[in-house]
Homo-oligomer: A and B are copies of this chain.
Amino acid sequence: MAFDTDRKYWGWGVSSVTFPPDRLKLMNQFLGARFGKPGAAPVPVPSLDELKMPDPVLGIPVEFAHIVSDGRFDRATHTYGKAFRDIVRALTGDFTAAPDLVAYPKTEDDVVALLAWAQRERVAVIPFGGGSSVAGGIEPPRNGREQFGGVISLDLCELDQVLEIDTESRCARVQGGTYGPALEKQLRPHGYTLRHFPQSFEFSTVGGWIATRAGGHYATLYTHIDDFVESLRVVTPSGILQTRRLPGNGAGPQEERVLIGSEGILGIITEAWLRLQDIPLCRAGCSILFESFIDGVAACRELAQSGLFPGNARLIEREETLFMGAGDGRHHLLVLGFESPSFPQEDKLHAATEICARHNGRAKEVSVRNRDVDHSSETTADQWKQAFMRAPYMRDEVVRMGYVIETFETCTTWANFPALDKAVRHAARHAMRRQCGDGMITCRFTHLYPDGPAPYYTVIAPGKPGLQLQQWDAIKEAVSLALVEAGATITHHHSVGKDHRPYYLSQNDPLSLTMLKAARHAVDPTGIMNPGTLLPD
């Protein structure tokens, strides 16, 4: 039973990593100046012993003694995801929602046996990958003890191997519990990468990515996990579902697509064949500065429709560049980059900067690195890690200082973006003012599609320790309703979980949901799989 004992039960990542105090101080100064008052003194982190956690209602079944735990640390680390409201609740020591047991199956047979037991005993099963859900996706259902005989969190972390590599077809058979770094580490000696780097990369798994339709770090083309899945193997309460390895298939609706994004309600992803890529060795990139955000948006639209397919194309609003330490706060910033395993990308970069210039974007810091320069030891994953790995750690500390901080990520058409943007900012500002007296909202684009951007809003307000949760709830609801009303999706890549469920249910077509419910009932007739996530119980 091998859950990393260094993992924080109250927030992101591991205890041994602390966010650099000097950068935290800068952040605090920035927010203090922005809101005209400093953050509160950080609330203390409750010790494991202090957590309020009921005794389990389930005993450990004898046959699973070697793979099931009822220990406090295991239960605490499997209670919450990593959303703002998870951190706040954890910091109050409220772990009443803890699962009764945590299972660490060592084999797929273990998974099958656990599901059979759970179905027999009517125990709710929460599939657990890296636990990085920010939408309540791995939280036990509130009615777990009334509606079910108990709740077990089923953690796939022992199933963490790349089992097979097909170099001819450039694919790998990977176990569902494989974390991002472990995956890349096993692929690298073969010269491959999955090139899928969500911000949760370090603490999320292949199975979790697939179950939640994770979005990668890259802006265009192959970045979503959906496109990397060649075939799937899923343990359902009704047996094992295995799709075939087919690069393309036109026989009926695509089988994998019903499973991708099913958030554990159909079964547990134990294996996937994934499409790999060669490690990129040729890169060309630059920063583009815009005086006007609208110009930046127009440039992004033209880039997205150009067929150039930049790997990186993150438009970051002026105030956010400052906040993220990525600029001087005087210009909106477009981080632009191209990469390829083999072909120099200067021409593409040149064409892209010309597009930006037509929209008053000024290129700076052009950087070109081709294969003849030795960068073989540096991978995109490493680069990404350096820049982003510590951001969620900072978030945890900001929460401890009483701030309300949240991100809203969505997607809409280019035509609808201005109206959406206006509605979201209005709703957020109004709610923050009402709840917290003040607040800031900034926008970036995380992904660009030919038909629209994926805007990502960061909201920070000076919350009140003790009131943060209800403040958050009100802001979250206001912005979520604005998203729904403006016709944008409630989630572009953070998943639905329990937190987004009401909006998901109100957005998706009722007949479509009826079909999903019917499909679910067909493989999970007793409804034990991740109840309350995605669909109502």
A interface with B by C-beta (< 8 Å): 166, 168-171, 212-215, 224, 226, 230, 236, 238-255, 257-263, 266, 275, 277-278, 301, 305-308, 340-343, 347, 351, 411-416, 447, 449-454, 487-496, 500, 504, 507-509, 511-512, 514-519, 521-523, 534
Contact = CB atoms under 8 A, between A and B. Distances in A.
Contacts of A230: 451
A451 B168 CA distance: 8
B170 A450 contact: yes
Contacts of A447: 248
Contacts of A522: 511, 514-515, 517-518
A170 B451 contact: yes
Residue among A240, A307, A488, A500 facing the most chain B CB atoms (10 A cut-off): A307
B508 A255 contact: yes
Contacts of A488: 246
Residue among A454, A491, A515 facing the most chain B CB atoms (10 A cut-off): A515
How would you classify the secondary structure of chain A's contact residues: helix, strand, loop or mixed?
loop
A384 B255 CA distance: 32
A168 B451 CA distance: 8
Contacts of A260: 253-254
A253 B257 contact: yes
Contacts of A250: 212-215, 261, 489, 491-495
B516 A247 contact: no
A209 to B, nearest CB: 11
Contacts of A242: 509
A414 B301 CA distance: 36
Given A171-B413, A247-B450, A347-B347, 4 more contacts: A247-B454, A277-B450, A307-B340, A511-B523
22 contacts: A169-B413, A169-B452, A170-B305, A212-B250, A213-B250, A224-B248, A241-B509, A243-B509, A243-B512, A244-B487, A246-B411, A246-B452, A249-B491, A252-B534, A253-B262, A254-B257, A254-B260, A278-B305, A307-B341, A514-B522, A515-B519, A517-B522
A534 B523 CA distance: 20
A162 to B, nearest CB: 16
Contacts of A258: 253, 257-258, 512, 515
A275 B449 CA distance: 10
Contacts of A342: 306-307, 351
Contacts of A239: 511
A507 B255 CA distance: 11
A492 B251 CA distance: 7
A504 B251 contact: yes
Contact of A252 (B214, B412, B496): B496
Closest 4 CB pairs of A and B: A247-B452, A247-B449, A257-B257, A515-B519
Nearest to A534: B252
A381 B342 CA distance: 32
A244 B507 contact: yes
